[in-house]
Structure 1
Amino acid sequence: MRLSLALICLAAPALAGPPVVEDARASRSGESWRFDVTIRHADTGWDHYADGWTVLAPDGTELGHRELLHPHVAEQPFTRSLSGVAIPAGVTEVLIRPHDSVHGPGADFVLPLP
């Protein structure tokens, strides 16, 4: 019984799965862009939480990164912003890639630029 309980406790962080982008919005201000990204992740605490997201060009070039400095256990989903992102001419959509402290990158969210 104790061994089963110990194995369940060790597996708990892996049960949260990777983070998912539920929504993202982009707005332009002059030559730079602001991104508001909503992520859902079953954060369990400091051992397993959504720790950031990245804005990528369609070719995979990193355009910006938002680091998340703490777990959001009681705030799900949550939205965070990143300003000052430069988007190269001709780019009409970006990818938003969430990341967590256990699984690494999650699935890309395709965001057409307005």
Structure 2
Amino acid sequence: MRRAFKSGLFPLMILIPLVLTGCSDDGNPEPPPPEYPEIVDAVAERSHGRFTVTVTVSSPYDSSERWADAVRVLDSEHEPLHVHEFDHPHPTEQPFTRSIPDVGIPIDVTEIHLQARDSSNGWSPTTFDIDLDQPEIP
């Protein structure tokens, strides 16, 4: 009876698909990179009627081809109040933290939503929400 495969090629036929599908050393497939950056922490501090928003963004896929390129502050109705753009990727600084000073937030807004943007995929569908300590409106 004739063999369908030469003995030297059979191990390669098993190994090549594993390499091509991106399996890790333990045999599990490598997860694809996330589609969007994630805001992992943020605070908003009031000073002289304005806010400084400090945000920590995780985008472990950052490279010169694709990166977290902006964060925006949205009001309670998800309307943009401020957009802060990042000029370059942060591949060696993950997650990275930036302070966004002088953000104007109307006094009647009691919570804000932060949203990160990916340079290829656009705005993340998820937000990081912050309750604000606003003075009482008389």
TM-score range, shorter chain: 0.7 to 0.9
Structure 1: 4+ residue segments shifted above 2 A = 14-17
Percent identity over paired residues = 34
Counterpart AA for 1:112: D
Could you tell me which of 62, 68, 74 is aligned with 2:86? Answer: 68
Report how many aligned residue pairs link the two structures: 106
Match of 1:102?
120
Could you tell me which of 45, 49, 52 is aligned with 1:27? Answer: 45
Structure with the greater alpha carbon radius of gyration: 2
Q: Where do 5+ consecutive residues of structure 1 fail to align?
A: 9-13
Q: Following the alignment from structure 1 to structure 2, what is the Cα–Cα distance between the partners of residues 44 and 85?
A: 26
8 A contact 1:51–1:70 mirrored in 2 = yes
Q: Following the alignment from structure 1 to structure 2, what is the Cα–Cα distance between the partners of residues 30 and 16?
A: 38
8 A contact 1:43–1:71 mirrored in 2 = no
Could you tell me which of 96, 99, 102 is aligned with 1:84? Answer: 102
8 A contact 1:17–1:41 mirrored in 2 = no
Supply the RMSD in Å over aligned alpha carbons. Answer: 1.9
TM (norm. structure 1) is 0.83
* Greater helix fraction, Structure 1 or Structure 2: 1
Please give the secondary structure, in 1, of the residue aligned with 2:98: strand
Q: Following the alignment from structure 1 to structure 2, what is the Cα–Cα distance between the partners of residues 22 and 37?
A: 8
Counterpart AA for 2:122: G
Q: Where do 5+ consecutive residues of structure 2 fail to align?
A: 1-15, 23-31, 134-138
Q: Spell out, residue by residue over 1:32-66, the C-alpha distance to the aligned partner (whole angstroms, 9 max, x if none).
A: 10000000012341211000100000112211111
Q: Of the two structures, which has the highest relative contact order with CA contacts closer than 8 Å and spacing of 6 or more?
A: 1
Match of 2:10?
none
Match of 2:130?
111
